[in-house]
Amino acid sequence: MKSLLSVFDINTGLSKNVLTVDGHIEAPNWTPDGAALIVNGNGRLFRVPLDEPELQPMDTGFAHQLNNDHGISPDGTLLAISDRTRTDGSCIYTLPITGSEPVRVTENVPSYWHGWSPDGQTLTYTARRGETFQIYICPVGGGGETQLTFDFVHCDGPDYTPDGEWIWFNGERQEGDVQLWRVRPNGRDLQQMTNDERVNWFPHPSPDGKHVVYLAYEPGTWGHPANRQVELRLMSANVDDGAAQAPRILNSFVGGQGTINVPSWAPDSHRFAYVHYEDVAIS
């Protein structure tokens, strides 16, 4: 298979390929300085400098069974990773972006990181603490976690708005019906943000707070599988804007799992990174 790391410009409507890899990479983050992307592949993390794109291995200490839930702190100094090298399920850790031994954050597993609060003090993630996956937050230094969602069949992909007032996520209230939602960091004011026939995952608010990009699967899709025909869609982040219910279709390709699992906006809010795939059997 081939993985194509690409950048989409919402102003021009054009997509540019940054790097093509023989093999599997996933889930790009954009560094706060705008100079590089970070992706994962085969349980490892790689830095991709945009001036001379190539996969540069990153030092993650003992952690070498990373999944695609990773991201950079707002000040650019720390990485949050999700790894199962030393645990029975995915566990969240932080480490300096320059590399070092990871420091454990979540006591319980499985836990999958998805977002930093704008002040860098809190992490949001999806976790199973019973029969279902729900949305949680906890201090970046570890400690007690707070459950934000209840009564969902499954939740995933939480990501903060840049003002810290909301956490967007995808939630499944009925089996097979996955829509986008937002909730306050205190668990109040739960609001549904999409209501259509698509299966909608991984909403990411732009740094300027104007837009949300997300992944739309075809109706009837279960979970967030790989190698499906999917769309990238853009909607207004303003709930009072009529455009909030009229998303713009940006692109269609083979992707899904690994395409935009984590925050991938550029600092300029005009571009975001994503991964799509070629030479794969569409499932």
- Given this model, what pLDDT does residue 281 score? 76
List Cα–Cα distances, 31 to 11, 49, 50, 144, 219, in angstroms: 20, 10, 10, 29, 34
Q: What radius of gyration do the chain's Cα atoms show?
A: 17
Structure tokens at 39: 């992706």
* Whether residue 48 has pLDDT greater than 60: yes
Mean of pLDDT values over 119-132 = 97
pLDDT at residue 240 greater than cutoff 80: no
pLDDT tens digits, 72-112: 999 999 999 999 999 999 999 999 999 999 999 999 999 99
Task: Give 175-215 as a DSSP string.
Answer: TTEEEEEEE-TTS---EE---SSSEEEEEEE-TTSSEEEEE
Tell me the per-residue pLDDT of 199-222, one tens digit each, with 9 for 90 and over: 999 999 999 999 999 999 999 999
pLDDT of residue 260: 98
Residue 283 has pLDDT above 80, yes or no: no
pTM for the predicted model, two decimal places:
0.95
Q: What is the pLDDT of residue 176?
A: 76
Residue 243 has pLDDT above 50, yes or no: no
What is the spatial distance between Cα 222 and Cα 104, in angstroms, rounded to a whole number? 32
Rounded to an integer, the average pLDDT of 123-132 is 96
Of 227, 226, 246, 225, nearest to 236 by C-alpha is 246
**CATH class of residue range 2-278:** mainly beta
Instruction: Provide the token pair at 241.
Output: 């804007």
Average pLDDT score, the chain: 95
* pLDDT for position 44: 98
> What pLDDT sits at residue 175?
79
